[in-house]
Amino acid sequence: MIIPVVIILALSLAILGSISLDLLFSQLLFLFFGLIVAVISFRFYYLNHLVLTKLYYLLTLGLLLLPFVFGVVTRGSVRWIQLGNFTIQPSELIKPLLIIIFAGFLSVKHSWSQPIQFIVYGLLVLLPAGLIYFQPDLGSTLVVLAIWLGMLLASDWPWFYPFSLIIAGAAFIPLAIKFLHPYQQQRLLTFLNPYQQAGSSGYQVIQSLVAIGSGGFFGRGLGQGIQLQLQFLPESHTDFIFAALAEELGFVGSCVLILAYFWLLKYLLTLASQAPDKFGYLVVMGSFFMLSFQIIVNLGMNLGILPVTGITLPLASGGGSSLLSVMFCLGLVANIESHHSVKTPLAIK
């Protein structure tokens, strides 16, 4: 697991350093703390998390309420909390906690009937997802829902439940669009034809496509990207870092990054099949769904084949909250891997 992670981080630091040395030093600082978080997560026996799930749920709700009280308003959203010179985003930090909470619920046998269990499992995601949505942060809301649904699919529950949700969700989409904020509705319209709003809402996607296309096979070289260095590409260090990388490192650099992600995700699936118990299996699968959903959506919006949702690229995008969240998950996954040969009495079926 270390090799693909190092490759992704190296490419990320190279691009962030090309954008700004301040961004590079800031990300290196976050990476230092991320490594500490990963080591702590690795050293803490993963099954001990089971007895803490209720506390984690209360902590999750508490963290998500903080932006409404102490949050910094940025472009109409209250997703961040200012801590000195840094900001943290609680909706990123709670993702590993939700993975543990969902895995704990799905791995333990309950005395209630299955429909009641399904309702309770739905209620577990309702409050966190609702609080994130009203910040508003549609991207993180979708990530949380993807983790929740993916873990349900990975469990041994009858497929009737997840597929009935998928069908109901598809039927609900036209109504759900009406509840989106105006700028979110505009993003959907822009996705259909970004060139109709080339000077406003379509600007990001168009500049991203120009940056990716102008990179060619080997790229323009670090520090030589026109779209990046002249700041035509918005959010080049976060949401559109893939476009920045594609312009300066080209098709070759983009393929290296994508293959590193493929390597990492394939490793997670292999580890899940070797997990010593159901809880460990579900935690690994939750991490897999979190990473894969974010990677697919971020690359899709950079390429203009998915709407812009503000979802970052794991391990690559600049920012501390996302990096800390992913490093916690990777440390937890490594802990599960270290116990894959240990037969525990908690092999919950």
- pTM over 0.95? The answer is no
* pLDDT tens digits for range 259-315: 999 999 999 999 999 999 999 999 999 999 999 999 999 999 999 888 888 899 999
72 contacts: CB under 8 Å, gap ≥ 6: 78, 80, 81, 82, 87
* pLDDT tens digits for range 70-81: 877 776 677 788
CA distances from 173 to 36, 300, 311 (A): 41, 20, 20
The pLDDT value recorded for residue 348 is 39
Q: Tell me the C-alpha distance between 316 and 314, whole Å.
A: 5
Give 46's DSSP letter: G
The pLDDT value recorded for residue 81 is 86
Indicate the burial class of 180 (C-beta count within 10 angstroms; 0-12, 13-18, 19 or more).
middle
Q: Tell me the C-alpha distance between 18 and 53, whole Å.
A: 42
Higher-confidence position of 309 and 145: 145
CA distances from 183 to 67, 151, 294, 298, 302 (A): 21, 31, 21, 19, 18
Higher-confidence position of 172 and 153: 153
At residue 279, what are phi and psi to the nearest 5 degrees? -60, -50
The pLDDT value recorded for residue 112 is 79
Most confident of 51-65, 106-120, 329-343: 51-65
> For residue 186, which of 170, 204, 168 has the smallest C-alpha distance?
204
C-beta separation of 147 from 105 below 8 A: no
At residue 79, what are phi and psi to the nearest 5 degrees? -95, -20
The pLDDT value recorded for residue 341 is 56
* pLDDT tens digits for range 34-47: 999 999 999 999 99
CA distances from 81 to 65, 133, 277 (A): 11, 16, 37
Tally of CB atoms within 10 A around 16: 24
Q: Tell me the C-alpha distance between 72 and 322, whole Å.
A: 18
